């Protein structure tokens, strides 16, 4: 008898903790979750720099990176639209041969690139009649949703050394998605090369949850999807659209990370190497 009563109590607690939503309630909750994701900071078409480039970081920029040909420069090499430019003459030839429809050249500089090379790159861009658009990483202040069971389980999966029976993070995710194959399909389709992951997830999550009657734990799903789509760092630009009004002369070995802190958005500079 005690066993039966205990079983009833457990079942009662489970029912109270995780009540099944009606179709209408599910639609409301799933739609709200979709709206929440749509309102988060995520790039519909994020600018992606070369993996080897560590961008200088700013906090004060809001101008999007324009769509234009790209110069990438690290300490080791410079390239234009993926073509290596071993010398200044190579870079000038490549930039000059590019289509003239654009106004800008996007300049992606590793923060350790020397000032002397920055001056050289800018001179080449301007000699071609184009304006440089310098790319920076911008840290975003983002408030996560309330902590969920998924967050706790992921934290437990990362304990080291592992405890007996400890689940992996992938297993935690699989178990969350198991009651909702439709949502699993959305996430699988968001993982392809060249796919706008945030767009796929934001547009498909609510429909998928409604299709599976909101079977998974919704706060946990919200945590999972938030981690997938929200950007904590994005790319923004400083554009030199107008004639130069200021001169910035620095020692040749000054790094771009240090030099770029002196740039004021809206001001256009002439870059020179200090004697």
Q: What is the pLDDT along the chain (275 residues), one digit of tens a residue?
A: 333 333 333 333 333 334 689 999 999 999 999 999 999 888 655 565 566 789 999 989 999 999 999 999 999 999 999 999 999 999 999 999 987 778 999 999 999 999 999 999 999 999 999 999 999 998 877 889 999 999 999 999 999 999 999 999 999 999 999 999 999 999 999 887 678 888 999 999 999 999 999 999 999 999 999 999 988 888 999 999 988 889 999 999 999 999 999 999 999 999 999 98
DSSP structure class, residue 98: S
Q: Which residues contact 218 (CB under 8 A, 6 or more apart)?
A: 29, 30, 33, 209
* Under 8 Å between Cβ of 115 and 262: no
- What element of type H or E holds 219? helix 218-229
Q: Hunting for tokens 């001169």 — which residue is that?
A: 247
Question: In whole angstroms, what is the distance from residue 263 CA to residue 193 CA?
Answer: 35
Name the maximum alpha-carbon separation found in the chain. 94
Structure tokens at 117: 């090379």
Structure tokens at 208: 């998928």
Residue 267 — φ and ψ, nearest 5°?
Answer: -105, 135
User: Model pTM greater than 0.85?
Assistant: no
Nearest to 224 by CA among 129, 127, 162, 149: 149
């Amino acid at each position: 008898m005690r066993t039966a009563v205990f079983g009833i109590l457990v079942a009662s607690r489970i029912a109270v903790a995780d009540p099944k939503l009606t179709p209408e309630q599910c639609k409301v909750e799933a739609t709200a979750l979709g709206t929440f994701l749509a309102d988060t900071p995520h790039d519909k078409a994020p600018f992606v720099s070369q993996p080897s480039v560590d961008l200088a970081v700013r906090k004060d920029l809001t101008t999007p990176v324009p769509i234009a040909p790209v110069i990438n420069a690290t300490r080791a090499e410079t390239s234009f639209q993926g073509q290596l430019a071993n010398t200044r003459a190579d870079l000038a030839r490549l930039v000059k041969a590019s289509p003239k429809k654009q106004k800008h050249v996007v300049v992606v500089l590793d923060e350790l690139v020397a000032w002397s090379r920055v001056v050289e790159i800018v001179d080449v861009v301007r000699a071609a009649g184009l304006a440089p658009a310098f790319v920076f990483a911008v840290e975003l202040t983002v408030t996560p949703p309330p902590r969920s069971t998924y967050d706790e389980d992921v934290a437990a999966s990362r304990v080291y050394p592992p405890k007996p029976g400890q689940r992996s993070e992938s297993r935690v995710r699989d178990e969350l998605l198991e009651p909702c194959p439709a949502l699993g399909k959305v996430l699988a389709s968001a993982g392809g090369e060249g796919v706008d992951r945030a767009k796929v997830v934001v547009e498909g999550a609510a429909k998928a949850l409604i299709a599976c009657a909101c079977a998974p734990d919704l706060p946990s799903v919200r945590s999972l999807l938030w981690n997938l789509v929200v950007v904590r760092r994005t790319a923004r630009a400083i554009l030199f659209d107008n004639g130069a009004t200021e001169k910035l002369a620095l020692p040749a070995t000054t790094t771009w990370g240090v030099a770029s802190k002196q740039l004021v958005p809206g001001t256009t500079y002439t870059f020179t190497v200090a004697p």
